[in-house]
Structure 1
Amino acid sequence: MKRTKKMLKSVLAMGLGFTIVLAGCSKQENKVNTDPPEPAPATTTKETAPEDKPAETELPPVDLTYYFPNSPQQDLQSVEDNLNKLVQPKINATIHLKLIDWGTYEEKMKVIMASGEPYDIAWTAGNLNNYFQNVANGAYAPLDELIEKYPDMKGGIPDMFWNAVKVKGQIYGVPVFQQSTAGYGYEIQKAVADKYKLDWKSITKLSDLTPFLETVKKNEPNLIPWEYSQQADPFQVAPPMFGLETLGDPKTPGDLYLTDASKVVNQYETPEFLEYVTLMREWYTKGYLRKDAATLKETASDRKAGKNALMLGQIDNDSIAFENAGMDAGGRMSNFNPDTQSYDLQFVKPLLTTDKASATITAISANSPNIERAMMFINLLNTDKEIYNALVWGVEGKHYKKVAENRIETNKEGGYQIFSPWEFGNMTLSYLFEGDPKGNDEKYTQMWIDLNKNATPSNALGFVFDFTPVKAEKANVDAAFTELYYALASGSVDPDKYLPIFIDKLKKAGSDTIIAEKQKQLDEWRATNK
């Protein structure tokens, strides 16, 4: 997930107030319906192929409210206006973009969903935004029948991505085909590595970075040695870095070891977690992290300002791979600030896990008055290059300029820079920008496509944990997690004292019950997927 996710991310940009826009114009489309509509008759070509010709005379106008996270954008309105000029002739829908800041997105969406007020489309995720929990709570509409209406959209996304978003055999969200293959490592500013002649290619694990961080701490007072936030916590974002695989979501107790896919374990009781929090405690006490690391929900402003000397990297192709392919790559840090280039090193090889294949999803609210029209818009984001890039990059000539057939340069002062093509539709449609490797645009795009399509699958790829039997325990465990986890994982508190307290709180909240249920469901899944 190249740009993210680092933000996841990233990782990257999201905040406005959230006024609910009530959608709908016609009686038929205003009817709240949580079930997918029956397929339209063959003669009703506009509902099955809305791109054929203008739709105003055949479809009644509707409003669609679309919630997604990013950093605050000054010129969101002109992006919305331009997007609607493209969308309305095709499906006669007006899209209302509701951008919420990364750090508050999950909580605000919980409020919106709990209120029962109608909205239409929302970004969600299998790992950081509780897609599976929201499905268990009935928040999203089942989409299987509607998805079948759009074979180009469906065929543009590999089957293993679709399998990763199924719950009890049904699909409740359209996965974004993006750079999902979970290789991990770190990013270091080129200027820092070159200035101090750091052997950045020698790193094989997180603890190897300690001497680099010490060099930065001693010599670069204006830089943060190691980036940490709740959106960029290595143990949550990169379980394979610790030999683990997430089942359900990374917060909830119950992971698998990559070397033993048969037994579900409490990841917070593993030697790997103890080693991690001990290392982070060392780094924190030495001043390698921000003092407020435990409460930081995202660090987009630090990334844009080039303040982080080193940071976690979810990496598909690293700097060495691009160098071997004859490409000039600015590194992932330049995604946020073109003037801050980085070396990116992958030391955990790519693996496609269920949580990464479901890492960014577009869902439709079960309470949407316009479920089918919402799917028409999602289809356009997956198949229409102009519409996709209008949302991702904004207005040509204002927010970016084209410098080649499929490459742009963004305008820093334009008021719209979200840098998140991985967040919407199908990322194969995205223009490349100044942060992407140069040398061969087609080859670069094909490199990550091939890597994802041919990724080594995890031992539990396709297994989706159903939270329904343990909904109460899940809520209690989430509360216990929030109370202490980030203080431990950022090194802000002593793990010798607080790790036993954390584990005890999880157990009292029901972690053992959740783990037993995960084991039961995993065993049943294996019995039918041999």
Structure 2
Amino acid sequence: MMKTNKVLSVVSALAIVLAGCGTNHSNNTASPSAKQSEGSATQPEASSSQPAKETPQETLDPVELTYYFPGSPQKDLQTVEDALNKLVQPKINATVRLKLIDWGAYEEKMKVMMGSGDPYDLAWTAAGTNNYFQNVANGAYAPLDELIDQYAPDTKNGIPDMFWDAVRVKGKVYGVPVFQQSTAGYGYIIQKAVADKYNLDWKSVTKLSDLTPFLETVKKNEPNLIPWEYSQGGDPFLTAPPMFGLETLGDAKTPGDLYLNDGGKVINQYETPEFKEYITMMRDWFSKGYMRKDAATLKETSADRKAGKNALQIGQIDIDTLAFEQAGMEASGRMSQFNKDNHSYDLQFVKPLLTTDKAAATITAISANSPNKERAMMLLNLLNTDKEIYNTIVWGVEGKHYTKVAENRIETNPDGGYQTFAPWEFGNMKLSYLFEGDPKGGEVDNKFTNMWVDLNENATPSNALGFVFDFTPVKTEKANVDAVIDELYFALASGSIDPDKYLPQFLDKLKRAGSDTIIAEKQKQLDTWIAEKK
């Protein structure tokens, strides 16, 4: 699940992303590889509570690990940090300092830290936010293969091979992927109360433009609601390329995508008729008041989600309301992940697909400047194998931040001071307790977890699953193109400016920044990758 998840869950959950999604659960599927069965739902759930390398705690010098990750500010973060350290310190003689940075500031904060060479140990990253592949090209992260083999073989075996393939750059792993709900099915989410009140045929939607009459109904009749949620972390074209028949190569923003029905030719997604149609529709929606006036600069929407102010939003939806009903589970919808009283209908109209960017949608890296790389990997192993440690960083302290209502289900405390709603951000999500945002009955026989794990391992693979673009040859062009995108993209994609006037300017600036050079390099690397597969 991503920020997005996320996206919706990721867009929905994060990010808000992702993210959001992303979020948020993102919150993003292929047939299993030869070793994939090691991490399948039919295998025993990871449960080891010791580092893979049996090193007596008393032989390890004490160290302090700094761990950066994004999220909404949490009043009771210190309590969670203290509880986490009571579990971690006896196992690996390390104290963890949780550095939670607001979503809106996270990417810039990490850019500054990496640029200045400031030491830290672990950081959340992704194919999109805090761009993992670009950071690898810039030398920000440590290569991890030997550390994983020595200190985290259980973690390696608990994550399907296709997820590891998605984070390799030039054959090396620089981050541990979070095994989460990564299958990239897409659709939309609508408040159940709104759909029921106006008798909206929410099941009939097959594309984004079908939502226009729903948004108009909300605009006319519900002045306290925002008809359509939009933020930089929840832009449909970036978070849901398959919704437009496209697949991301490298990262979602950089020019150079594939059409899903043509896995061999790299194109500039911003020159496609699909993009022009999208921004034209968004201009219409923005002009009619379906979005916040500050949509172009809005980085995340967690406050609006918690307040139940968004009537409709995009969704990264691997399992929708109808699928849960068919499986005998009752789901309150992704909106309830932020506000348990705000139920939603979630409808998928783009079938699940596993793409490289979604398999790499949420990753934990170790800094190249970390003085404690071995201990950092030990901590990552615990987050991937120890259920108590994992759920402490995700959900907090039992009795204060949540109440256990069943063996594997909790109810969160909205007044407890710690509600990240981000099980997709840490470790292995198979370890997560279910909460009020997950389907009722899903905890029985681990039904819900087994359902999404199976979907991740058996859904349709993209044409370029496993292809990882190496940005190194075009680092300068990438930086220049990113500057152009930051300048104009979100204003265009939110409908805040006239596409007839500004799209030509956007495309011209991209070309002058080096977009054609990037696309040519992507084509070259893709051709090589395809040839090597034959």
Please, what TM-score do these two structures have when normalized by structure 1?
Answer: 0.92
The residue type paired with residue 57 of structure 1 is E
Contact kept, 8 Å, 2:107 with 2:130, in 1: the verdict is: yes
Contact kept, 8 Å, 1:319 with 1:344, in 2: the verdict is: yes
- Confirm or deny that 1:469 pairs with 2:473: yes
Q: Pairwise mapping of residues 19-418 of structure 1 onto structure 2 (< 5 A)? A: 50=51, 55-149=56-150, 150-418=152-420
Q: Residue 127 of structure 1: CA displacement? A: 2.1
Summarize deviations over 1:303-359 as a string: whole Å, max 9, x none.
000000000000010000001111110000000000100000000000000000000
Distance 1:528 1:12 in 2: 34
Q: Pairwise mapping of residues 362-511 of structure 1 onto structure 2 (< 5 A)? A: 362-441=364-443, 442-511=446-515
Contact kept, 8 Å, 2:241 with 2:248, in 1: the verdict is: yes
Give the 3-state SS of the residue equivalent to 2:199 in structure 1: coil
Contact kept, 8 Å, 1:174 with 1:362, in 2: the verdict is: yes
Identity of counterpart residues, as a percentage? 78
Q: Residue 443 of structure 1: CA displacement? A: 1.0
Distance 2:188 2:93 in 1: 45
Distance 2:143 2:54 in 1: 28
State the partner residue of 2:16: 10
Distance 1:366 1:396 in 2: 35
Find runs of 4+ consecutive structure 1 residues off by over 3 angstroms. 11-14, 48-56
Contact kept, 8 Å, 2:67 with 2:97, in 1: the verdict is: yes
State the partner residue of 2:44: none
Distance 1:439 1:449 in 2: 17
Q: Residue 100 of structure 1: CA displacement? A: 0.3
Summarize deviations over 1:199-255 as a string: whole Å, max 9, x none.
000000000000000000000000000000000000000000000000000110000
Contact kept, 8 Å, 2:226 with 2:291, in 1: the verdict is: yes
The residue type paired with residue 375 of structure 1 is M
Q: 1:54 to 1:516 in 2, by over 3 A?
A: closer
Give the 3-state SS of the residue equivalent to 1:185 in structure 2: strand
Q: Residue 9 of structure 1: CA displacement? A: 3.7
Q: Residue 129 of structure 1: CA displacement? A: 2.2
Summarize deviations over 1:407-451 as a string: whole Å, max 9, x none.
001001000000000000000000001111002311111111100
Distance 1:244 1:7 in 2: 23
> How many corresponding residue pairs?
497
The residue type paired with residue 61 of structure 1 is P
Distance 1:483 1:490 in 2: 13
Distance 2:285 2:521 in 1: 36
The residue type paired with residue 438 of structure 1 is K
Q: 1:221 to 1:301 in 2, by over 3 A?
A: same
Distance 2:75 2:14 in 1: 21
Distance 1:450 1:525 in 2: 28
Q: Residue 55 of structure 1: CA displacement? A: 4.1
Per mean C-alpha deviation after superposition, the further-off stretch among 183-192 and 48-57 is 48-57
The residue type paired with residue 107 of structure 1 is E
Distance 1:501 1:413 in 2: 48
Contact kept, 8 Å, 2:119 with 2:367, in 1: the verdict is: yes
RMSD: 1.4
Contact kept, 8 Å, 1:7 with 1:231, in 2: the verdict is: no
Question: Unaligned 5+ residue runs, structure 2?
Answer: 21-48
Q: 1:156 to 1:4 in 2, by over 3 A?
A: same
State the partner residue of 1:30: none
Distance 2:207 2:53 in 1: 53
Contact kept, 8 Å, 2:52 with 2:153, in 1: the verdict is: no
State the partner residue of 1:521: 525
Contact kept, 8 Å, 2:52 with 2:154, in 1: the verdict is: no
The residue type paired with residue 455 of structure 2 is L
Please, what TM-score do these two structures have when normalized by structure 2?
Answer: 0.91
